[in-house]
Chain A
Amino acid sequence: MEFVLAIIVGILATSAFYLMLRRSLVKVILGMVFLGNAVNLTIFSVARVTKGLAAFIPENASTLEGTYADPLPQALILTAIVIGFGTQAFAIALFRKAFQKVGDDDLDKMNSTDIMCNEDIPGDK
């Protein structure tokens, strides 16, 4: 199971970086979503994957026996998913606003803060 997860994480991360390096803003945000999922799956597989075993300590015992998945990373993923959702939502809103302002979703058209640094940027006033 870890093997499959590792391959999925690899595919997700590769696509994420490919998309983030594209010039279109829509693809960048998709890349960010993919990367977030790759990260979460990584943490998920770090915790070991077991089937049909809940991490409950049985009655009359003080510790868990056998191999079981650590539940803590799953709690971490929950936090990371929520945070990722918030930041991605913000990014989408920001990208939409930038698209309206610049009139293009090409990142190459959004380099005025770098190349026009010694001029007034049109659309600022």
Chain B
Amino acid sequence: MNSILAMPVVFPLFIGIIMLFFWKHRSIQRIINALGSTITLVLAIYLTWYVKTSGIQCLYIGAWKAPFGIIFTADLLTMTMILVSAIIGFATSIYSLGTMDETREHFGYYPLLQIMIMGINGSFMTGDLFNMFVWFEVLLISSFSLVALGGKRSQLEGAIKYVILNLLSSSLFVVGVGILYGITGGLNMADLARKIPMLPNKGIVNVMAMFFLVSFGIKAAIFPLFFWLPASYHTPPAAVSAIFAGMLTKVGVYALFRVFTLIFVTDVAFTHTIIIIIAMLTMLSGVLGAASQMEFRRILSFHIISQIGYMILGLGLMTPLGIAGGVFYIFHHIIVKTNLFFVSGVVNELKGTYLLKKLGGVLKLYPLLGLLFLIPALSLGGVPPLSGFWAKYTVAVAAVEKGEYLALAVSLFVGLLTLFSMIKIWNEVFWKEQKAEFAAEQQTLRQLPKFKIAMMFAPIIFLAAITLFIGLNPEPFLNYANEAAHQLLNPSIYINAVLGGAQ
């Protein structure tokens, strides 16, 4: 029965392979991709409901017993990530129909997209550390191709930085996994969680924890390791950078949440204090970096970094409310950030540029677009009653409860500066008059085909509606996050589900 757990991984692969059979038929690929990601979304909603009602589920691949074979495990954190990745995959597929250029579609954009989603879902699902490395590589190699697809100079330069640093991070990850296997004799995460407290040598566990912090930290773009992100995320087309901005760094954050709540919990005073300090520095450096930028997507890229800080802060606090805040933050942030990149893509379609100095006057022509920008932008800044307010509020309350007043001060200050950056975009792109010398290249919305307009705006409205819905009705989401935090903070639930229920 539990083989349905493999569906979020197998189904995108299936769609990807089907699309490869229609390599020369662009329109068939578009239809299959849109239909396929809709089905993935339905599957993810069903699976989330299933795991929510019947507890942690495991799939023992090949029916090998738990510590020996590869397993897929779905707890509430996993399902949050699977659900949100399905939402973003769906929205991006629709958005791509409107904005992706023909050349990229001819060179396998849609299959790559689906394979990347497979890799993302696989890394969420797996309950085995080495298997997680393999899934990381699956998603990395397809994201490498996506970021370089098109071969513009900026894309290639961004891709080089992205590729080198991510391969370095993978190498560190494998070393960590190898040594961890050497000292414990296990790769299964539940098995590791059981064995590590029994190790006589606590020092090496902390060293391993740092290996994982650095390697996942590069992927999650935390404080000293984020430089690849603003160098590469603004170079590919808007649809690609939107799904990157939403999902890819969050795979690293998910991995951090997983290992630092399940495996490396023997010396919380050491590891999680480091995480809190890194979180504060990440927030500050991201938001200050954004303040100095004058390019639409680069500002948003730097804000990914500062927002990662909030999630990591929730993890570092290691209290039920902190973890719940972190989980809630991830969910809210992915939706909001993807939406902002979508909006930037629409502005680029209309005005032909992302540079703030060349943009202007969008609000006067397209008030609806202005509104659709404001919803995610203010949510990112944490203005009530939007989703970002509840996320920031939860993390802030958790910081107060733990007595981390410095972290609280930093997070509030960073919230203010986030708002500043969003208002800068608002002023420059939407409000100010566009300078006449830059107005020549632009096209009006009416010149675009109706289908294209619909496909561009539908996902933006869809994600904005989710943001509003979470903002006006946060209680079920917070309850869900609390349950997820309860599972994360009591690793015995996870361990029993994986090892106790072995067939």
Contact = CB atoms under 8 A, between A and B. Distances in A.
B156 A76 contact: no
A46 B167 contact: no
Interface residues of B, number: 46
A16 to B, nearest CB: 9
Given A20-B168, A39-B175, A97-B151, A46 B181 contact: yes
A42 interface: yes
Contacts of B206: none
A63 interface: no
Interface residues on A, range: 35 or more
A121 B153 contact: yes
B293 interface: yes
Contact of B157 (A76, A102, A118): A102
B335 interface: no
B151 A86 contact: no
A101 B153 contact: yes
A43 B157 contact: no
Contacts of A111: 157
Interface string B173-196: 011011101100100000000000
B175 A42 contact: yes
A6 interface: no
Given A28-B164, A87-B167, A91-B167, A97 B148 contact: yes
Contact of A90 (B144, B157, B168, B232): B144
Interface string B482-502: 000000000000000000000
A110 B181 contact: no
Contact of A73 (B144, B156, B178): B178
B171 A35 contact: yes
A59 interface: no
Given A121-B153, A123-B152, A36 B141 contact: no
A90 B142 CA distance: 10
A65 interface: no
B159 interface: yes
B137 interface: yes
A91 B148 CA distance: 11
B234 interface: yes
Interface string A96-117: 0110011000010011111001
B171 A39 contact: yes
Nearest to A110: B157
Nearest to A72: B181
A79 interface: yes
Contacts of A110: 157, 160
B47 to A, nearest CB: 28
B453 interface: no
A47 interface: yes
Nearest to B185: A70
Interface of B is mostly: helix
A121 B176 CA distance: 39
B94 to A, nearest CB: 27
B156 A36 contact: no
B160 A98 contact: yes
Nearest to B179: A46
A112 B181 contact: no
Contact of A102 (B153, B232, B356): B153
Contacts of B141: 86-87, 90
Contacts of A95: 160
B160 A94 contact: yes
Contact of B293 (A25, A32, A101, A117): A117
B217 interface: no
Contacts of B234: 113, 117
A33 B177 CA distance: 19
A102 B167 CA distance: 23
Given A42-B179, A80-B174, A32 B164 contact: yes
A58 interface: no
B154 A112 contact: yes
B7 to A, nearest CB: 24
A118 B156 contact: no
B273 interface: no
Interface of A: 20, 25, 28, 32, 35-36, 39, 42-43, 46-47, 70, 72-73, 76, 79-80, 83, 86-87, 90-91, 94-95, 97-98, 101-102, 107, 110-114, 117-124
Q: Enumerate the 9 nearest inter-chain pairs by beta-carbon distance, A residue then B residue, closest first.
A: A43-B178, A46-B182, A123-B153, A98-B156, A110-B157, A118-B294, A121-B154, A83-B137, A39-B171
Given A94-B148, A97-B151, 20 more contacts: A32-B164, A32-B168, A35-B168, A42-B175, A43-B178, A46-B178, A76-B174, A76-B178, A87-B170, A90-B141, A90-B145, A90-B163, A94-B159, A98-B159, A102-B156, A113-B231, A117-B295, A118-B355, A120-B353, A124-B152
Interface of B: 130, 133-134, 137, 140-141, 144-145, 148, 151-154, 156-161, 163-164, 167-168, 170-171, 174-175, 177-179, 181-182, 185, 230-232, 234-235, 293-295, 298, 353, 355-357
17 contacts: A39-B171, A42-B179, A43-B178, A46-B179, A73-B181, A79-B134, A80-B133, A87-B141, A87-B144, A90-B145, A101-B153, A111-B157, A112-B154, A112-B157, A113-B157, A117-B293, A123-B152
